[in-house]
Chain A
Amino acid sequence: MSRVRVLVGTRKGAFVLTADGKRERWDVSGPHFGGWEIYHLKGSPADPNRIYASQSSSWFGQVIQRSSDGGKTWEAVGNKFAYEGAVGNHLWYDGTQRLFEFARVWHLEPSLTDPDTVYAGIQDAALFRTTDGGQTWRELPGLRNHPSAPAWQPGAGGMCLHTILLDPSTAGRIFIAISAAGVFRSDDAGETWRPMNRGLRSEQIPDPTAEVGHCVHRIAMHRSRPNVLFMQKHWDVMRSDDAGESWKDVGGNLPTDFGFPIDVHAHEPNTVYVVPIKSDSEHYLPDGKLRVYRSRSGGHEWEPLTKGLPQSHCYVNVLRDAMAVDTLEPCGVYVGTTGGQVYASADAGDSWTPIVRDLPSVVSVEAQMLP
Chain B
Amino acid sequence: MLFGTAAVAVPIIIHLLNRRKFKKVTWAAMKFIKLSVEQNQRRMQLEDLLLLLLRCALLALLAFALARPALKTSGTDVLGQAKVTAVVVLDNSYSMDLRGLDKKSAFQKARAAAKEAINAMPSGSYASVLLASDLVQEKDSIISPTRALSQAHEVIDRAKVSHHATDLYPAVDRAVEILKGRAALRKEIYIITDGQASGWQQQGEIRKLIDENRDDIRVYILRVGEAKPPANYAITGLDVASGLTPVNHPLRFDVTVANHAEQAATNMIVGLYLDDGKSPVDKVMIPSVKAGATRTVPLYARFAKVGYHSVRASFDQPERFDSLEADNQNLLVVNAVREVRVLLVDGDTEARDPREHESYFLKLALAPVADHYVKVDTTTPAGFARNVLKSYAAVALANVERLTPSQISALKTFLREGGGVLVYPGDRVDVDFYNKELFEKHGLLPSPWGVAVGDATQDEIYTLFQSSGYEHPITAPWNNRDFGQLDDVRTFRHLKLEKQPSISVVKEAGPVKVVLRYAATRDAEDTLGAPAIMERDWGKGRVFQFSSTADTAWSDFAVFAPSVVPVLYRILGNVQAQGDTGLNLRVGDSFLHPLAVDQPNQQGRVIVPGLAQTNRISAEVLRDRPVLQFKDTHRMGLYEFQLDGEEGTTLFAVQPDQRESDLHKVNDSELPSAATIINWEANTDLKEQVKKARVGAEYWLMILLVVLAMVALETYLAQKFSQSK
Our verdict on whether A and B bind, yes or no, reads no
